[in-house]
Structure 1
Amino acid sequence: MKKYGSLVKNILQFTVIYKLIILFAFSPLLRLVLKEYLKKVSVSIAFNQNMIEVFLSFQGIIILLILLLAMMFLIYYNLYVVIQIITLEHQQKNINSKKSF
């Protein structure tokens, strides 16, 4: 049971710090990108008319791709680090150790 305590502690530490970074750095940045795009095209989607056409335009597709790729990368990185923490704990290696390149 003691060995799982260290694992849970390391995962929680990373998760809390990572979520704070997401909350205060990446989320406002992604929200700004979406708001600027919506502000630019707000006249045509004021009453939900042509909303699909606005997001299926070239600029809309680019914005959606940027947002989706950014969110997918952030999720991938989170899962990658958690898996690495679990792997290092399983191999009983120190997480803070530096590898020589």
Structure 2
Amino acid sequence: MPTSGALRGDAWVRAFGDVGRENFVGGFAVRTKGSKSEYGPDNPSWLPTVYSDVSLLRQIDAAGTATSSSTQPTPMAHMLEALSVEGGGSFSLAV
């Protein structure tokens, strides 16, 4: 993520680099071209997929609708940088 160019501010580069996305996800699914692939920590593709620039579907209802996800990192980085957050305040609850 830091090398993709999505992050410009040094503080955000450090934050995204220091806080592992895998700390926030267990099992998840990813939709691509109409299909759904499921991943768990025991799957060898789990960690590379965690760090891919896709939304991770954390909960899917009986109808197949995603009801909870871990947002795609690039748009999240753009939104956080647009907030112009400074200092150590707690802002993530507002996002």
TM over 0.5, shorter chain: no
Higher share in helix: 1
TM-score bracket, normalised by the shorter chain, equals 0.3 to 0.5
- Greater relative contact order (Cα < 8 A, sep 6+): 1
Higher share in strand: 2
TM-score, normalising length from structure 1?
0.33
TM-score, normalising length from structure 2?
0.35
Asked which structure has the greater CA Rg, the reply is: 1
